[in-house]
Amino acid sequence: MTDALVVTDLRVEFSGFVAVGGVSFDAYPGEVRFLIGPNGAGKTTCIDAVTGLAGGTGSARLGGKELLGRPVHRIVRLGVGRTFQTASVFDELTVLQNLDIAAGRHRPAISLLRARRGVDPSIERALEETGLAGELATPAGILSHGQKQWLEIAMLLVQDAKVLLLDEPVAGMSQDERTATGELLQRIAAKRIVLVVEHDMDFMRRYATRVTVLHQGRVLSQGTVAEVQADPQVQEVYLGTADAIPED
């Protein structure tokens, strides 16, 4: 079983501006963990710090291992993967070629040069899991917006990421794609840590098991969906009204 991700008193400054001012949260396999908050709350900066893209102080531990201070590639090697707000796949390559590249770090370079004799089992599993099995030969550039996000997730699965940090995975998706993505996150979270940064409150309410609400670089509220929805401070930040995060 994958260890927990435990972030303690994380602080990130940009030239004296405090973007993240002492944030603590944890995430476990088996839950779909959400980080929400208004624009500029520090959500992306938190995952930038955990993945080594932004320097931070405090602690971000995966199992017993401290992530802060390690270079990006070492954090990746420890099993921490992320997606970005804009999908970063190779548009001119097929779905399979993208996944081959993602799988590359597991094989000796020479095997990448050999002719393909069937699809790698880890790639096959990732294709099934993300619903992209029918798109093997499709150039990534002509996939739908949702499918591109799923391909990015598939690339992390192929790399056997233990932690998936997903930055606004459903932004710009259709309702059907959102539902498919929520169900995908529930499936992959069974054995991995899934932390989702989102603006979409409806999506959060449907799929979050636990939520941390950030505001101006600090934790405003933390708990189950019901707990954060009932928190007057959260309601205040979202539009300043009690029905800002509507109940079903």
Ligand X SMILES: Nc1ncnc2c1ncn2[C@@H]1O[C@H](COP(=O)(O)OP(=O)(O)OP(=O)(O)O)[C@@H](O)[C@H]1O
Asked if 175 interacts with ligand X (CB under 6 A), we say: no
Query: CA 198 → CA 27, 144, 246, distances in Å?
Result: 16, 20, 16
Asked if 51 interacts with ligand X (CB under 6 A), we say: no
- Minimum gap (Å) between residue 67 Cβ and ligand X: 17
**Interface positions, 16-35, toward ligand X (CB under 6 A):** 17, 19
Query: CA 188 → CA 156, 183, 240, distances in Å?
Result: 11, 9, 35
Using the contact rule CB under 6 A, the part of the chain among 1-9, 12-20, 148-156, 218-226 near ligand X is: 12-20
Using the contact rule CB under 6 A, the part of the chain among 13-21, 107-115, 137-145, 224-232 near ligand X is: 13-21
Asked if 83 interacts with ligand X (CB under 6 A), we say: no
Among 7, 23, 45, 182, binds ligand X (CB under 6 A): 45
Nearer to ligand X, 45 or 98 (CB): 45
Place of tokens 């390559």: 93
Collapsed DSSP state (helix, strand, coil) of residue 201: helix
Asked if 178 interacts with ligand X (CB under 6 A), we say: no
Task: Characterize 20-40 residue by residue with b for buried, 16 or more Cβ atoms within 10 angstroms of its Cβ, and e for exposed.
Answer: bbebebbbbbebbbbbbbeee
Asked if 205 and 248 count as a contact pair (C-beta separation under 8 A), the reply is yes
Hey, how many other C-beta atoms are within 10 angstroms of the C-beta on 248?
A: 5
Nearer to ligand X, 20 or 127 (CB): 20
Nearer to ligand X, 68 or 154 (CB): 68
Nearer to ligand X, 199 or 206 (CB): 199
The count of residues in the chain is: 248
Among 43, 148, 178, 215, binds ligand X (CB under 6 A): 43
Amino acid at 100: D
Query: CA 204 → CA 79, 129, 234, distances in Å?
Result: 25, 21, 14
Among 40, 55, 63, 246, binds ligand X (CB under 6 A): 40
Place of tokens 């548009």: 91
- Provide the binding-site residues for ligand X, judged by CB under 6 A: 14, 17, 19, 37, 39-45, 199
